[in-house]
Amino acid sequence: MKRSSSLRGYVITRTLLAIPMLLILLTVVFLLMRVAPGDPISAALGGKLPAAELARRKHDAGYDRPLAVQYVEYLKDVATLNFGTTILDNRPVTQVIAQNGAATLELTFFAMIVAMVAGVGIGLLAGAYRDTAIDLGGRLFGIVLYAAPVFFLGFLAQLTFGKWLDWLPTSGQTSPVVGATLQTHTNILVIDAIIDRNWSALQDVLRHLIMPSVVLGLVIGGIFIRLVRVNLLQTMKGDYVEAARARGVKEPRVVYKHAFKNALVPVITIMGLTFALLLGGAVLTEETFNWPGIGAELVRYLDNRDYIAVQGIVVVTGIIVVIVSLAIDILNAWVDPRIRY
Amino acid sequence: MRSAGAREERGFYVRRTLRVGAAVAVLAVMVAACKSNSSTAGGSGAPNSSATIVHGTTDSIVSLDPAGQYDLGSQQISGEIYDNLLVIPAGGNTPEASAAQSCAYSDPKTYTCTLKPGLKFSDGSPLTSEDVAFSFKRNLEINDPNGACSLLNAINKPGADGCKWNPASIDTPDDATITFHLNAPDATWPMILTSSAAYIVPSDVFPETKLQPDDKVIGSGHYTLTKYTPGQQVVLAPNPNWWGDPPANGGVIVQYFDKSSALKLALEQGDVDVGWRTFTPTDVEGMKGESQLQVLTGPGSEIRYLVFNESFPAGKELAVRQAVAMTVDRQAIVHNVYNDTVAPLWSMVPSALPGHIDAFKDAYGDSPDVAGAKKALQDAGISTPVPLEIWWTPTHYGDSSADEYAEIKRSLESSGLFTVTLKSTEWDTYINAAVTDQYPNYQLGWFPDYPDPDNYVFTFYSSASFLNDHYKNAKVDQLLADERASTDQAQRVKDFQEIQKIGAQDVPIVPIWEGRQLAVTTQGITGVQDTLDVAYLLRYWMIGKSS
């Protein structure tokens, strides 16, 4: 009981702390967008219309109202989950988040699979073969991946596998014809193709997923390699590991069942946070591969000073990150009773 | 010391890890090797009228509702979905009847059109004069911040602040007749009827006071919208109720790309049949050497120019402005920066438009005249080098702007007559500052609203120009009023030529280059060359793909 009430208290505290965090985020986003020079009307029609006409349109759209008035309206809208309609292209912000967010979710999910397989696998090898060529190779591989800009790796991949070998498509979520004919149910095209039992479309979607998810996954995997290796070496020094060996437990079991699983606890935390951050959009990857994700869309709206779109996307992304990090903290606290505030 | 047994056992999970990795790699290769059959590469032989054309572009759509758009990306799709009373035909620059059977002035302020009989929207409903009037009315009433209602000044409510519908501006005495009562004689009105502000929409579908959702737009043009994924794709199918000849294809997919490099790769891989707007000069150079691609060019109407604000010391001096006009090396910019994908511009009216003359070439020659510039400055008693501060923006006119203005700086400074300080800022800040007397000399560009010289000369040389460059010439203002009021095209051409000559003498603006339209297609694609003209519309209905 003591443990469950302690956990309950921890959950309540963490949840309550999320509220001021979100409020700060909302306020900072609002102020930054309003204080930065420019406005959506000038961005779109400057150089086309006289200054007086631009000013009139800005006034009609309410962009010159007092900041305090705009702020209060903004908070009211957020509280009622009304994120508005984008100024640039008249889309409901929720539609932008649903459609483009789904594309980012798809990319992120598969990238994380690649990151986990590559990162954990190579990190495990490096830790197990410490101070050997395998360890050195694994660490170097991780450093190179982590240090290389993702767009550079993306361009290399496009050049090699797209242009020279012509094995894989270089951009987009699907080929144009498949995109035109595939019915969208969830906006996650892999799932949509499966729902429709459209196997040729599924193949097309998977082919388009390979390059961006592998590139992004390897870059993230570079971080995981080092993290897994370091944590594995740390846990291998533990007394319980020696004790297991002393009891005659076979080495693979010692490493895999005892040391490795404990080494993964902090890694899972990082994985979860990385996943949450990527849901905000892996901008460089999306731009490199013309992936219609939320990150690339956010950049477009930022370029055009679309306050409404940027506020909505950042707020929703912020909420997602807060929820996911809260979930990870709760999970960790539940798994490891030592973790309490 | 680890035992041999421990090493062997550790190898167990090493082998297991490697087996898992190998399985994943084999699966990936299998998926990659099974290339989809969705390539769109054309073949040789007769055009296939049921083939789907894929157009790749870096443009984007603001709105597919005519009342909410004033950008090329939106107009490109809308030009396929909607019809106008008048259109610019392929290769032409004079309005021709489309939805209208005929249009004519009965007096300088009254313009009457008669609709073709039996017109229908794509949903089968009849198109009448009421729909035409409704289309103009809602454009003015909605007054969308992103819309082009400012093009309809000729029928705007007199004295209104901004766009406002004037009920007296349009009569519809019967289902086929529309009479426009213009506020003032306006020879450009037929041209405006070809623009995006004049697309015809159904009055029983589109709301009167707000925009129609993009995925629910209906028109009477060559195509209907069957699918719209914002930021990604537009799918068009032939309109079964189109009054004219069916298109040369079975439909069009428009695929949107963030970067021209991605579009280029898609063309090379055959995922896209036609790439149009916009490639960098480097992209174009790379594609010229590829056997599976054709690079096509046509006349354009996009221009770039340098503005002098005459309220600043340097801009105030005619001799300085003329000396800059004489010293700028347009050929070097065109060749070194743009790899000849653009052409030198010798007038503020592009060469493809009627009435164009090479006014600046006639006045100053076609290569830098340093001696002439030096003499002009000496005669005016201006000591050299003249300090010039020139502004440009890296975020609106493409990546080549930096090189363009570096080249301008180089050519001006190499004459020994100027010292140039280049400054830049991003577009939003730039455009507000440029037209509010904060920049002495600055870069701008222009796409026409309609392919008539008035859309250039009035925009740039009128004393009410949006440039706010403080240039005023009473004779030019009179000539502008005359050409707008005249329906005699020959007289208008003379007026335009006179304006261009004055513009070359007064040099409030130095024209730099004019764009050529450029499209890249895969082999087997037909009809694109014929649609590359000053109207800036890729007419999908003309594009075919060989079987």
pLDDT digits (tens, 9 = 90+) for A138-191: 999 999 988 889 999 999 999 999 989 999 999 999 999 999 999 999 999 999
Q: Please state the rounded mean pLDDT for residues B448-459.
A: 94
CA–CA separation, A257 and A252 (whole Å): 8
- Confidence band (pLDDT; 50, 70, 90) for B358? very high
The helix/strand/coil state of B451 is coil
Contacts of B233 in chain A (CB under 8 A): 176, 179-180
The helix/strand/coil state of B296 is strand
CA–CA separation, B222 and B216 (whole Å): 16
- Res B469: pLDDT: 95
- Tell me which of A106, A251, A257 to substitute to probe the interface with B (most B C-beta atoms closer than 10 Å): A251
Q: Please state the rounded mean pLDDT for residues B144-156.
A: 93
- Greatest alpha-carbon pair distance for chain A in Å reads 85
Torsion sign, CA atoms B200, B202, B207, B209:
positive
- Confidence band (pLDDT; 50, 70, 90) for B439? very high
Q: Please state the rounded mean pLDDT for residues B131-143.
A: 97
Contacts of B464 in chain A (CB under 8 A): 50
- Confidence band (pLDDT; 50, 70, 90) for B401? very high
- Res A61: pLDDT: 74
Least confident span in A30-44, A233-247, B12-26, B382-396: B12-26
- Confidence band (pLDDT; 50, 70, 90) for B12? low
Q: Which position has the token pair 């539609």?
A: A95
Read off the pTM.
0.88
CA distances to A285, B258, B546 from A291, rounded to whole Å, are 8, 9, 30
Q: Please state the rounded mean pLDDT for residues B119-141.
A: 97
Q: Report CA A277 to chain centroid distance, whole Å.
A: 4
CA–CA separation, B434 and B423 (whole Å): 12
Size of interface A-B (CB pairs under 8 A): 203
Closest-CA distance, A314 to chain B, in angstroms, reads 19
Quick check: B17 pLDDT over 60?
A: no
**Are B10 and A172 within 8 A, CB to CB?**
no
Supply the mean pLDDT for chain B. Answer: 91
| Cross-chain CB nearest to A177 (options B40, B230, B266) | B40
| Cross-chain CB nearest to B14 (options A57, A89, A128) | A128
CA–CA separation, B315 and B329 (whole Å): 19
Closest-CA distance, B456 to chain A, in angstroms, reads 11
This model of the complex carries an ipTM of 0.84
- Tell me which of B1, B10, B462 to substitute to probe the interface with A (most A C-beta atoms closer than 10 Å): B10
Contacts of A100 in chain B (CB under 8 A): 231
- Res B65: pLDDT: 97
Q: Please state the rounded mean pLDDT for residues A116-135.
A: 88
Least confident span in A23-32, B256-265, B295-304, B406-415: A23-32
Range ranked top by mean pLDDT from A48-62, A111-125, B21-35, B302-316: B302-316
Quick check: A14 pLDDT over 50?
A: yes
- Res A56: pLDDT: 83
CA–CA separation, B234 and B71 (whole Å): 16
CA–CA separation, A88 and A107 (whole Å): 25
CA distances to B81, B166, B214, B252 from B77, rounded to whole Å, are 7, 29, 11, 10
| Cross-chain CB nearest to A38 (options B150, B429, B446) | B429
pLDDT one-digit tens code per residue, A222-237: 989 988 888 888 887 8
- Confidence band (pLDDT; 50, 70, 90) for A90? confident
β-strands B96-97, B86-87 pairing: antiparallel
Contacts of B429 in chain A (CB under 8 A): 37-38
CA–CA separation, A198 and A308 (whole Å): 37
Quick check: B520 pLDDT over 50?
A: yes
Beta-carbon neighbour count of residue B20 at 10 Å? Answer: 12
With a pLDDT cut of 70, the percent of chain B lying above it is 91
Contacts of A173 in chain B (CB under 8 A): 232
CA–CA separation, B405 and B392 (whole Å): 7
3-state helix, strand, coil in chain A (%, to 5): 75, 0, 20
The helix/strand/coil state of B100 is strand
- Tell me which of B30, B226, B269 to substitute to probe the interface with A (most A C-beta atoms closer than 10 Å): B269
Contacts of A163 in chain B (CB under 8 A): 265, 268-269
- Confidence band (pLDDT; 50, 70, 90) for A1? very low
**Are B145 and A57 within 8 A, CB to CB?**
yes
Are the C-beta atoms of B155 and B170 separated by less than 8 Å?
yes
| Cross-chain CB nearest to B10 (options A37, A255, A289) | A255
CA distances to A226, A228, A287, B223 from B84, rounded to whole Å, are 64, 65, 37, 14
CA–CA separation, B547 and B545 (whole Å): 6
- Confidence band (pLDDT; 50, 70, 90) for B36? very low
pLDDT one-digit tens code per residue, A275-316: 877 877 688 999 899 999 999 899 889 888 888 898 888 888
pLDDT one-digit tens code per residue, B165-209: 999 999 999 999 999 999 999 999 999 999 999 999 999 999 999
Contacts of A61 in chain B (CB under 8 A): 145
CA–CA separation, A218 and A224 (whole Å): 9
Burial of A141 (0-12, 13-18, 19+ CB in 10 A): middle
Q: Report CA A125 to chain centroid distance, whole Å.
A: 27
- Tell me which of B146, B216, B429 to substitute to probe the interface with A (most A C-beta atoms closer than 10 Å): B146
CA–CA separation, A214 and A172 (whole Å): 15
Which tokens belong to A300?
């477009």
CA–CA separation, A154 and A285 (whole Å): 7
Least confident span in A83-97, A100-114, B357-371: A83-97
Residue of B nearest to A60 (CA): B145
Segments of B132-232 assigned E as strands:
170-174, 177-181, 223-229
CA–CA separation, B116 and B105 (whole Å): 18
- Res B377: pLDDT: 97
Residues in CB range of B112: below 8 A, 6 or more apart: B103, B104, B105, B106, B177, B178, B179, B180
Residue of B nearest to A289 (CA): B262
**Are A39 and B150 within 8 A, CB to CB?**
no
Least confident span in A287-301, B211-225, B228-242: A287-301
- Confidence band (pLDDT; 50, 70, 90) for B285? very high
CA–CA separation, B298 and B519 (whole Å): 9
Q: What are the φ/ψ torsions at residue B58 (nearest 5 degrees)? A: -100, 5
Contacts of B255 in chain A (CB under 8 A): 172, 176, 179
Which tokens belong to B252?
């069009």
Are the C-beta atoms of B154 and B189 separated by less than 8 Å?
yes
- Res A4: pLDDT: 58
Supply the mean pLDDT for chain A. Answer: 85
Are the C-beta atoms of B528 and B519 separated by less than 8 Å?
yes
The helix/strand/coil state of B111 is strand
Q: Report CA B143 to chain centroid distance, whole Å.
A: 22
- Res A49: pLDDT: 78
- Res B487: pLDDT: 85
- Res B68: pLDDT: 94
- Res A63: pLDDT: 77
Contacts of B432 in chain A (CB under 8 A): 37-38, 42, 46, 51
Q: What are the φ/ψ torsions at residue A167 (nearest 5 degrees)? A: -90, -35
Quick check: A340 pLDDT over 60?
A: no
Least confident span in A114-128, B67-81, B532-546: A114-128
- Confidence band (pLDDT; 50, 70, 90) for A89? confident
| Cross-chain CB nearest to B61 (options A60, A89, A184) | A89
**Are B269 and A43 within 8 A, CB to CB?**
no
